[in-house]
A = this chain, B = another copy of it.
Amino acid sequence: MQTTQAVAAGQDICSGPPPRHPRPDGQDRYTISEVVAFTGLTAHTLRWYERIGLMPHVDRSHTGQRRYTNRDLDWLVFVTKLRLTGMPVADMVRYAELVRQGESTYDERRELLESTRRDVLARIHELRDTLAVLDLKIGFYATEGTTR
């Protein structure tokens, strides 16, 4: 019940394409250390993400310990992808806020993602240029360097 319909209802956390859920085990309540193992983030970072508003409200056990859902994991995977595009954490927090505000923010969210998409493309082109420069230099070392 947390996949396609909920996504279509626009009230969930991720609001993206329905991601395949099957996780390490078949559950839907993970401790912080399980999430650490799954995402590669540290427990400190996970708590910090929550403090700064980058996570939706994470459920708690009756004693106050965090219990992450599969949806939380999906969100973390997405956030991690955004992070390595170089997107500032503040922008991701903004996106998270939009998601919390519901489907009235669809347009703004799409614009944010499209602008991110443009950034990523530009970044790829930059990196390709750099690759060309590196290849030139490496080529130099392969000839001048070896036949010296």
Contacts and interface: CB of A to CB of B under 8 A. Distances in A.
Interface of A: 7-8, 10, 15-17, 78, 81-82, 84-85, 103, 106-107, 109-110, 113-114, 116-117, 120-121, 123-124, 126-131, 133-142, 144-145, 148
Contacts of A85: 127, 130
B140 A17 contact: yes
A133 B17 CA distance: 9
A130 B120 contact: yes
The 3 closest A-B pairs by CB, nearest first: A106-B145, A110-B141, A16-B137
A137 B135 CA distance: 35
B140 A131 contact: no
17 contacts: A10-B144, A16-B133, A16-B136, A16-B140, A17-B139, A78-B137, A82-B130, A84-B127, A84-B130, A85-B130, A106-B144, A106-B145, A107-B141, A110-B145, A113-B134, A117-B135, A120-B134
Contact of A136 (B17, B126, B131, B135): B17
